[in-house]
Structure 1
């Protein structure tokens, strides 16, 4: 089976789309599939990371003619220009069995035109806000599962949908035992995605300054805009460690008693581990999911970062440090959502559709 994945990463977009596609790609490759990526060479792209892991990764143009400058992550791409660029990139390749698209800026127009590249199409979405013309759609968010008919108006009746955290694209290591909930929090892990354009890591470290007994692990993005300020804070706290590009993030999560982070892809990693979380959304597309999870008792949600008063974060940390029953309740409810097998479920569906 041959699979083409169209997804982007950048300082503005973040790294989550590539991260979850890479997880699915690894499962497909382990099953014998050939997987190829096509990504725009935007500032902060991850093309080399994909190549370092043994994938062919085609670089598409950083800009297209008439493209809006400085557009947000949900802005529509010039779909015809993107299809043309993809055609140039894979011109020498035979037709693929599957084309997987994970991009907020592409919709049914692009998907119909992209049929030339593959026998079947799959879309990965989080927003349920635009039409799709695909054979299979994945939305791993709790909101897709909790809101009845979230995609009824956006996909054809014959489109197969995989909705909810049961299908979350997690690495195999997250098929694991839960962490132990201790009487008191001793280790805190802070991470707000691959780039943290919202500068929320630094704001969280400022809030943690008064908790001298805590061991704080910080995993910050390579292009974090507050790197110097965070490093200065860490130097004043011997039990703080600020790092980037770590290879042992899973192990750090296992060692943590409390996670402070965003409402993106790590939501499901935390759930699989039963890791109690204070969540702060750093993008509009995270807000509904984070709010619904909070209402279901999965985590403590403090709202969008731009509306968060610093003292609220301080108070939330202080409250959860000694509240083992609350942290245990978060852990048990989150573990019930995610078993870590979502990527294999999707891979089985893709392989099964192609047949022997």
Structure 2
């Protein structure tokens, strides 16, 4: 099966779209799929990361106005994909219809339910997602996969569970690859006055507050400032509390059973983060611009001192997100394309998982 992903990453977009597409790409590749990506060469793009994962990459100029001719020039003349997967808020049914010249089927990954799609399958992994939200936006025959049951997570987030906590509290802070809202620095400032807390902060070199973060972390022997890490699941499993945004890491920390304090850094995160808080999965403080330093400091202190609350968050998260979403999506893609052997493999994976114990 041949699959083309269309997703972008950048300093203003973040890396979430490419990250979740890469997760699905790796699962599809494990079933024998051949993977290609088409991405714009925006500042902060992740094309090297995609190539290092072993996938073909087509680079679109950052200032491309009409993508279809640009893709036409990049793709081989005989290009024909079983699936074209698009994960992009700025692309809709017009792009998807035009892209069908290269693909037998189209899948859209969406979070917003705010525009029409010409797709055969649509995925919205949000807690607030439902098929009813998309009936006005997709063809009648479109298959809709909705909810965290289909969250695209790497296997490690399911295979690990929280370690027994001994010694000081460990707080893991991450607001994504770029953090234009500046919440990383504000969070470390809120943690500054708490005693007996170890902090691991993940912030990219492109963070606008990098110098201030380095200065603050240097004053605390038990604190560390990290750039990109390739062992995030292990760090999550060892943490007492996670502080971060309402994006893709929401499902990672839920699946691994890591209690979290969530702050919305983009409008598309607000409704989902609020709904998850009402369902008892995390503590949500609201949009970043509404969160005061005093409220952030108080919330951190209260959560670190409330083990039953953290245990409740962890249990609710693991009950909602089992970490097999990418396998379910892969099964749907292989089945629809008629690859019965690969589909059977993922059916067996999902069947076997029902008997696993952690």
Structure 2 unaligned spans of 5+: 340-358
Of the candidates 279, 292, 314, which is equivalent to residue 309 of structure 1?
A: 292
Task: Provide Cα deviations, 1:143-170, integer angstroms capped at 9, x if missing partner.
Answer: 104xx72112111221000000000000
Show the counterpart of 2:170: 187
Of the candidates 73, 92, 109, which is equivalent to residue 77 of structure 2?
A: 92
**Residue 124 of structure 2 contacts residue 147 of structure 2 at CA under 8 Å; is this kept in 1?**
yes
- Alpha-carbon distance in structure 2 between the residues aligned to 1:185 and 1:156: 54
- Alpha-carbon distance in structure 2 between the residues aligned to 1:322 and 1:350: 45
**Any residues of structure 2 matched to 1:73-222 within 5 Å, and which?**
81-145=66-130, 149-180=132-163, 182=165, 186-222=169-205
**Cα displacement (A) at 1:184:** 8.9
Structure 1 unaligned spans of 5+: 66-80
Tell me the TM-score normalised to structure 1 length.
0.93
- Alpha-carbon distance in structure 1 between the residues aligned to 2:218 and 2:251: 32
Q: 1:41 to 1:93 in 2, by over 3 A?
A: farther
- Alpha-carbon distance in structure 1 between the residues aligned to 2:84 and 2:246: 27
Q: Is the partner of 2:129 in helix, strand or coil? A: helix
Say which is worse superposed, 37-46 or 48-57, in terms of deviation. Answer: 48-57
- Alpha-carbon distance in structure 2 between the residues aligned to 1:88 and 1:25: 24
- Any runs of at least 4 consecutive aligned residues in structure 1 with deviations exceeding 3 A, and if so which? 180-185
Count of aligned pairs: 339
Q: 1:294 to 1:250 in 2, by over 3 A?
A: same
Show the counterpart of 1:12: 12
- Alpha-carbon distance in structure 1 between the residues aligned to 2:279 and 2:328: 25
Matched, 1:25 2:25: yes
Tell me the TM-score normalised to structure 2 length.
0.92
- Alpha-carbon distance in structure 2 between the residues aligned to 1:185 and 1:276: 16
**Residue 138 of structure 1 contacts residue 163 of structure 1 at CA under 8 Å; is this kept in 2?**
yes
**Residue 160 of structure 2 contacts residue 237 of structure 2 at CA under 8 Å; is this kept in 1?**
no
Q: Is the partner of 1:92 in helix, strand or coil? A: coil
**Residue 183 of structure 1 contacts residue 322 of structure 1 at CA under 8 Å; is this kept in 2?**
no
**Any residues of structure 2 matched to 1:225-244 within 5 Å, and which?**
225-244=208-227
- Alpha-carbon distance in structure 1 between the residues aligned to 2:165 and 2:288: 28
**Cα displacement (A) at 1:186:** 0.6
Show the counterpart of 1:327: 310
**Cα displacement (A) at 1:52:** 1.4
- Alpha-carbon distance in structure 1 between the residues aligned to 2:279 and 2:322: 18
**Residue 185 of structure 1 contacts residue 322 of structure 1 at CA under 8 Å; is this kept in 2?**
no
- Alpha-carbon distance in structure 1 between the residues aligned to 2:225 and 2:179: 14
* Aligned residues: CA RMSD: 1.4
Task: Provide Cα deviations, 1:277-328, integer angstroms capped at 9, x if missing partner.
Answer: 0000111111110010011111000001111111100000111111111111
**Cα displacement (A) at 1:29:** 0.7
**Any residues of structure 2 matched to 1:231-310 within 5 Å, and which?**
231-310=214-293
Matched, 1:40 2:25: no
Show the counterpart of 1:354: 337
